[in-house]
Structure 1
Amino acid sequence: MSESCTNPGSYRIRIAPTADGGDRIPDLSPREVREYWLDKLRVSMAESTVSAYHYRLKHFIEWCEAEGLDSIRDITGWDLKSYEAYRRAEGLEVVTLNNELGTLENFFEYCARSDLVDESLPEKVEPPTVPPEADVDETKLDEEDAKRLFTYYQNDPRERHSRAHALLTLTWFGGPPRNGAIRGLDLRDYHSDEQYLEYHHRPSEETPLKNNYKGERAVALPAEACAVLDAYIEENRVEIRDDYGRRPLFTGQRGRPSLGGIRGWMYLATVPCLHSDCPHGNDRETCEFLTYSTASKCPSSRSPHQVRTGAITWMRNQEIPADVVAERADTSVSMIEKHYDKPEYVEEMEKRRRPYLDRLDFDEGGEDQ
């Protein structure tokens, strides 16, 4: 190992390549190894996924530094157990703890493959078992609430064909897409005459898809959704280009909006006070949740993910096959069944009984002769 001394202000460690490790294995801190690992992941994973891993390891890195564990090679199985106990004492939900320790296990598998730690150390990270009901977010935009929102937007002359109207329409009918896919849409990706959208993975221009090139697809749109998008583009879209000269479908004041910006727009677009009396007893004229910065705090507003969940549930209740829904939404049938297909008990009963109810009866005149 040699330190780079190309300029007095540089403290970057330069590691000479080695064939078999041995005495030349570098003595790195947990923080340094994390950066090596994340750089490796960036080659094949979306930046949003890498960022999630970064934050899942953040508490472990800070804990190591507080405990004086300055070298990755000094970490023992007992340290891992101590860290798990520390995080449990923080009152984490089991899903969060499972995610953090699962990422930590993957991190130490990388360390073991790199000869930085003993090969048995990853086995000593034990993520807790998550009960099936704890690993599912039940929150969604219900079908009836969606209908009321669309009625409001269609009938209110001030909001008809607004950005909020178009965003909700595309998210409900356009796949439904994830937040990142919405952000990455350009005007050229929408084909009005043919009534479909294209989703493209463009990581070099900062608009990746979650599933990379495998997530690229064309999604057909119903005529009523195209009518809203056409009018939004004609009447309310602000003509502006992003840093790469592209023309985003949804635009903010500075060009292409951030993921947080789209999330904020959706929260505001789904506040129930827009279409009915406040379910929480607030006066619409004085409600504190009717601004961009506060709408996310409304208990009944919904994020893009929750609108996506509601739209997938609605499509399944319309008896659209799970494999068709999965292809439109860029997910798998198993993921739909676990995370997105969230019918209530009565809806579930209706979905089950429609094809089979007639079989649960005796034929007329079926008595023994």
Structure 2
Amino acid sequence: MSQSAANSPESYRVCIEPTADGGGRAPELSAREARDRWLAKIRASRAESTVSAYHYRMKHFVEWCEEQGITSMSRLNGWNIEEFEAHRRAQGLKTTSLNNELGTLKKLLEYCARIEVVDESLPDKVVPPKVPSEEDVDDTRLAEEDALQLLDYYENSPDVRYSRGHVLLALGWFAGPPRLGAIRGLDLGDYHPDEQYVEYKHRPDEDTPLKNNANGERAVSLPGRAVEVIDGYLEKNRFDVRDDYGREPLVASQRGRPSKNAIRAWMYLATVPCHYTACPHGNDPDTCEYIDYSKASQCPSSRSPHQVRTGAITWMRNRGIPVDVVAARANASVSIIEKHYDKPNYIEEMEKRRRPYLDKLDFEDGEGDIE
């Protein structure tokens, strides 16, 4: 692995040396040592993004234990867990974030109990707060009308047609829709223009893993509109570069394969509404600071890759595509699609999903007679 990949801030890695105390007794482990050992163990079966998320969530618990002088996990008790939760609540943590932190702490303690580092009853003393349904999901998405106006803008504007922003939006909307990491991992060889599809492949040893590992590998068909955009981008605007592994990224920067943060920033910039309409916030596009790579994410109306994905999934469902087909294209379970991604408002629900069945609520038969 290259030095740049190994030192990536988006990936957390830890090397744990084997320890032994000369007998069958479990060693005394600090919170930091226990966390690192647990993460090293689960790395074999979890996506790197998941391991990184767990590391970040446990960062506050580890630091709190060190500040409290708790040098061994074996000293932890129910009161310590209560004190830590009260500490995080006092810092103004949202219920969703606190639920995630305590849920991850429970997983860590279950591991520690299994190897007899803490009392077996300790994990049950962690009770993550219930999250109100309105806080449990992020409803922000790129709306259908905004997406279509943005695509029309790119297609009808010679200066930006087939640009990097154009191809990212086309991939994010039509090619799954994929997660950010899946877009980043695409190579030229994964795109099949004649057959009109892209392949998503899990390549963890070359810094392009998929969220669901090998289970995320799939082929996704593309509409002609997306194929035209990708072909135009490859012909006119893609940098002819390779990454650190000699691969040719489909969406490329001048120096090779872009980072996740770069793709995220490019998508924010690609979805700023001032591209196609008057600024909804009353700013002058010629002087607005949001029309800039480093500031586009701060625009209230720009959208992240995740929010583009959410909007595209909702759009597909509104178009009548069955949820299991959408789930297969997006590589997510039906339950996850319905809970976290499929976000119609009640007008969309009525007009695009329920109104087509209105004729079934009539008493008339096919000849217009009352049955």
Give the Cα–Cα distance (whole angstroms) in 2 for the partners of residues 151 and 37 of structure 1.
49
> Once the two structures are superposed, what CA deviation does each residue of 1:20-45 show, in whole Å capped at 9, x if it has no partner?
x74x3111111011110011111111
Shift of 1:350: 2.1
* SS of the residue 1:132 aligns to: coil
Q: Specify the code of the residue in structure 2 equivalent to 1:46.
A: A
Counterpart for residue 4 of structure 1: none
Aligned equivalent of 2:19, options 15, 18, 34: 15
Give the Cα–Cα distance (whole angstroms) in 1 for the partners of residues 266 and 322 of structure 2.
31
Q: 1:156 to 1:355 in 2, by over 3 A?
A: closer
Q: 2:320 touches 2:353 (CA, 8 Å); kept in 1?
A: no
Alignment of 1:66-105 (within 5 A): 66-105=67-106
Unaligned runs of 5+ in 2: 1-15
Q: 2:170 touches 2:226 (CA, 8 Å); kept in 1?
A: yes
Q: 1:365 to 1:194 in 2, by over 3 A?
A: closer
Shift of 1:366: 2.6
Shift of 1:355: 4.0
* SS of the residue 1:134 aligns to: coil
Counterpart for residue 5 of structure 1: none
Same amino acid, percent of matched pairs: 66
Counterpart for residue 138 of structure 1: 139
> Does 2:222 align with 1:221?
yes
Counterpart for residue 179 of structure 1: 180
Q: Specify the code of the residue in structure 2 equivalent to 1:129.
A: K
Alignment of 1:245-324 (within 5 A): 245-324=246-325
Structure 1 or 2, whichever has the larger Rg, is 1
Counterpart for residue 13 of structure 2: none
Shift of 1:16: 2.7
Which deviates further from its counterpart, 70-79 or 314-323? 70-79
> Once the two structures are superposed, what CA deviation does each residue of 1:169-218 show, in whole Å capped at 9, x if it has no partner?
01100000000101100000000111000000000111000000001000
Counterpart for residue 370 of structure 2: 366
Alignment of 1:152-191 (within 5 A): 152-191=153-192
Counterpart for residue 238 of structure 2: 237
Q: Specify the code of the residue in structure 2 equivalent to 1:240.
A: V
Shift of 1:121: 0.2
Counterpart for residue 34 of structure 1: 35
Give the Cα–Cα distance (whole angstroms) in 1 for the partners of residues 354 and 79 of structure 2.
54
Q: Specify the code of the residue in structure 2 equivalent to 1:205.
A: E
Normalised TM-score (structure 1): 0.93
Shift of 1:352: 3.8
* SS of the residue 2:134 aligns to: helix
Q: Specify the code of the residue in structure 1 equivalent to 2:176.
A: G
> Once the two structures are superposed, what CA deviation does each residue of 1:205-238 show, in whole Å capped at 9, x if it has no partner?
1100000000100000001110110010010000
Q: Specify the code of the residue in structure 1 equivalent to 2:82.
A: K
Q: CA RMSD in A?
A: 1.4
Counterpart for residue 194 of structure 1: 195
Counterpart for residue 9 of structure 2: none
Shift of 1:360: 1.8
Q: Specify the code of the residue in structure 2 equivalent to 1:192.
A: P
Shift of 1:151: 1.0
Q: 2:164 touches 2:237 (CA, 8 Å); kept in 1?
A: yes
Q: 1:258 to 1:17 in 2, by over 3 A?
A: farther
Q: 1:17 to 1:71 in 2, by over 3 A?
A: closer
After TM superposition, what 4+ stretches of structure 1 lie above 6 angstroms from structure 2? none
Q: 2:192 touches 2:198 (CA, 8 Å); kept in 1?
A: yes
Q: Specify the code of the residue in structure 2 equivalent to 1:16.
A: A
Give the Cα–Cα distance (whole angstroms) in 1 for the partners of residues 323 and 21 of structure 2.
49
Shift of 1:351: 3.5
Normalised TM-score (structure 2): 0.93
> Does 2:326 align with 1:325?
yes
Give the Cα–Cα distance (whole angstroms) in 1 for the partners of residues 354 and 314 of structure 2.
17
Give the Cα–Cα distance (whole angstroms) in 2 for the partners of residues 340 and 14 of structure 1.
42
Give the Cα–Cα distance (whole angstroms) in 2 for the partners of residues 164 and 251 of structure 1.
12
Shift of 1:362: 2.9
Give the Cα–Cα distance (whole angstroms) in 2 for the partners of residues 95 and 365 of structure 1.
55
Give the Cα–Cα distance (whole angstroms) in 1 for the partners of residues 349 and 281 of structure 2.
28
Shift of 1:17: 8.4
Unaligned runs of 5+ in 1: 1-11
Alignment of 1:207-218 (within 5 A): 207-218=208-219
* SS of the residue 1:137 aligns to: coil
Kindly tell me the number of residue pairs found equivalent between the two proteins: 353
> Once the two structures are superposed, what CA deviation does each residue of 1:121-143 show, in whole Å capped at 9, x if it has no partner?
00000100112221110100000
Q: 1:328 to 1:287 in 2, by over 3 A?
A: same
Shift of 1:46: 1.2
Give the Cα–Cα distance (whole angstroms) in 2 for the partners of residues 25 and 326 of structure 1.
44
Shift of 1:365: 4.3
Shift of 1:344: 1.1
Give the Cα–Cα distance (whole angstroms) in 2 for the partners of residues 366 and 13 of structure 1.
80
Which deviates further from its counterpart, 177-186 or 351-360? 351-360
* SS of the residue 1:218 aligns to: strand
Counterpart for residue 11 of structure 2: none
Q: Specify the code of the residue in structure 2 equivalent to 1:349.
A: M
Counterpart for residue 350 of structure 2: 349
Counterpart for residue 128 of structure 1: 129
Shift of 1:253: 2.6
Give the Cα–Cα distance (whole angstroms) in 2 for the partners of residues 329 and 190 of structure 1.
17
Give the Cα–Cα distance (whole angstroms) in 2 for the partners of residues 13 and 356 of structure 1.
63
* SS of the residue 1:103 aligns to: helix
> Once the two structures are superposed, what CA deviation does each residue of 1:32-63 show, in whole Å capped at 9, x if it has no partner?
11110011111111111100000000000000
